[in-house]
Chains A and B, each alone.
Chain A
Amino acid sequence: MLSRRIIPCLDVRDGRVVKGVRFRDHVDMGDIVELALRYRDEGADELVFYDIGASPEGRSVDHAWVERVARLIDIPFCVAGGIRDVETARRVLHAGADKVSINSPALERPALIAELADAFGVQCVVVGIDSIREADGQWRVRTNTGDPDRTRALPVRTLDWIVEAQHLGAGEIVLNCMDSDGVRRGYDIAQLRQARDLCHVPLVASGGAGEPVHFAEAFEQADVDGALAASVFHSGAIPIPGLKRFLRERDIEVRNA
């Protein structure tokens, strides 16, 4: 039976792992490879690296560190940040990443999803979505959230984009609920449930984890395939082995590392 995945997310800026609250005020969390190895040893099922400076600065990921990570870790990892074309994605994948995640560039040019799916297979193509609830009660997408000064609000409804992204060839959706991000009050279950109903590919919850029970709720109530978190792992507030024991006690299938 397929296990539910626990996925630490490492926001990368200038070759270091950083973390901000509500995407602002980034604090240095440590060296990329050191943290990657620590999570691998603790039993993380997968890692995601977001080069948060790449997309707003209009540049692509610097892949020297992708190769450093790939040489040392033996669990899968996904790289995001400024991947705008097949050639850039190919370089990142050849450097050793297992998947690429695209966010802003996919919204700017949705055909990119299909191009990547044709080149590498849908299973390599993750579409990340930053979503926020607007005054009219609808969730809508944001681009370039790595830099608050360049973040743009698009008129696209999150749920419509989830459908379109899959149609174009997304093999996985990471739904980052910005209202919850960094505030540790739990994943946005209501939004994730609606996304789940429309999502036939794997769905990963992002934004809001503060306690082990939040992970359990996302798996039990929104049936997500994976749950992503950053600061609670980086700070040590939630050690992964303890989290997995907690989930196993609730009969949630997780991998024994």
Chain B
Amino acid sequence: MRVALVDAGGANLGSVRYALNRLGIEPEVTVDAEAIRAADRVVLPGVSTAAQVMGRLHALDLVQVLRGLEAPLLGVCVGMQLLYERSEEGGVECLGLLPGVVRKLPLAPGIRVPHMGWNGLRTMRGSALLDGVAEGASAYFVHSYAAPITADTVAATDHGSLFSSVVQRGRLCGAQFHPERSAATGARILRNFVEMDF
């Protein structure tokens, strides 16, 4: 199993690599188009802004590579947001692989932005990504922007309103939270992504 971890400039690159290491996987950390195309699984992490990561993907000539990818792709946090058409964060055009626009989480009484901390995953439809994950299990979130609930939503999370916290459309997967920092729940979802049949 070859897992490519795209070095999109996101600051959680190391943590995602270590999380895969804990599952017995040594990913190839890369910006090389051929290495990414040749991988069995591709992970696109991101702790940064959508505009910064998209800028880096353009500079590295990886936008078309990711759009045309045949292997399963997992976007984490900003990496998941980039799967959508565009993001309000910097008004940037994203990869456009999933329909929808990523918007800023609205402030409300008692609702702080960034949404930071542990929150529950509410299952919206079945997906092997959530195999072995209990209903309502907690995951660790740190973000200010979020994707809407669509047909691709596997799990939703409530922070003032519901947003997509786990998504899947065929080979395209995303987690708005940080599986690499979500204890056993996160490890299980990463393992599911690596082991499931697409």
Contacts and interface: CB of A to CB of B under 8 A. Distances in A.
Residue among B21, B144, B184 with max Cβ neighbours from chain A (10 Å): B144
Contact of A121 (B47, B117, B180, B183): B47
Given A71-B18, A96-B15, A120-B48, A45 B143 contact: no
B45 to A, nearest CB: 12
A122 B144 contact: yes
Interface stretch (A23-31, A87-95, A185-193): A87-95
A201 to B, nearest CB: 6
B38 interface: no
Contacts of A255: 118, 138
B13 interface: yes
Interface string A143-164: 0000000000000000000000
A223 B110 contact: yes
Contacts of A124: 11, 47, 142
Contacts of A4: 117
B116 interface: yes
Given A76-B142, A94-B13, A201 B47 contact: no
Nearest to A90: B11
A140 interface: no
Nearest to A45: B118
Nearest to A96: B14
Given A225-B116, A226-B117, A200 B107 contact: yes
B158 A1 contact: yes
Nearest to A93: B11
A165 B60 CA distance: 34
A257 B107 CA distance: 28
Given A71-B21, A74-B187, A201-B114, A123 B144 contact: yes
A221 interface: no
Contacts of B78: 121
Given A74-B19, A118-B49, 11 more contacts: A1-B158, A74-B183, A76-B178, A93-B47, A94-B11, A96-B15, A119-B48, A121-B144, A123-B142, A124-B47, A201-B116
Interface of A: 1-5, 40, 45-46, 67, 70-72, 74-76, 90, 93-96, 98-99, 118-124, 171-172, 200-203, 223, 225-226, 255-257
Q: Which 5 A-B pairs have the closest CB atoms?
A: A93-B11, A96-B14, A123-B114, A255-B118, A76-B181
